[in-house]
Amino acid sequence: MTRLRRTTRSGFENRNGQIVAMPTSKSGTDHNQYMYILRCKHCGTVYGANGTDIWERRCPKPRSVCHAGGGRSGIGLMWERGIFSKEEFLKMVEVVNIEVGVLV
Ligand SMILES: [Zn+2]
């Protein structure tokens, strides 16, 4: 559990260059998991991920676009599921002043 706590801290960067931008109060897609907003340091893509996935997460972009890519799709999927609206997400990102690249 120590590891989980560490990897969900804002600013944590995993081995694939995926950085935790901020936690959210929204549930992720896993049972009992909160969603975190991550940013890829290689291409600037911002997306949502489950807390338990952070340590091994890859950028959701295809590998042809980002060399850390090839991961599962991120927040786009959550919009489809109605967990987030796009407007809601953009507002949250504004608050922490993340530079939004391409939203996935
Ligand atoms: Zn990337």
Residue 14 counted as domain residue: yes
CA distance 61 to 9: 23
- Residue at 12 is within a domain: yes
Q: Would you state the structure tokens that stand for residue 44, as one six-digit string?
A: 């600037």
State the pTM of this model: 0.72
On whether residue 20 sits in a domain, the answer given is yes
**What pLDDT does 94 receive?**
62
Per the domain annotation, does 59 fall within a domain?
A: yes
Calculate Rg over the CA atoms of the chain: 12
Domain count, the chain: 1
> What is the per-residue pLDDT for 102?
42
CA 66 to chain centre: 15
pLDDT over 90 at 16, yes or no: yes
Q: Could you list which residues have their CB under 5 Å from ion ligand 1?
A: 40, 42-43, 45, 59, 61, 66, 68
Q: How confident is the model over 46-102, as pLDDT tens digits?
A: 888 888 889 999 998 899 999 999 998 776 556 666 766 777 767 766 655 554 444
Residue 100 in domain: no
Question: Does any domain span residue 102?
Answer: no
Mean pLDDT of 18-24: 87
Q: What pLDDT is stored for residue 27 in this prediction?
A: 72
Domain of 67, in residue numbers: 2-95
CA 29 to ligand 1 centroid distance, Å: 21
Q: How remote is the CA of residue 70 from the centroid of ligand 1, in Å? A: 9
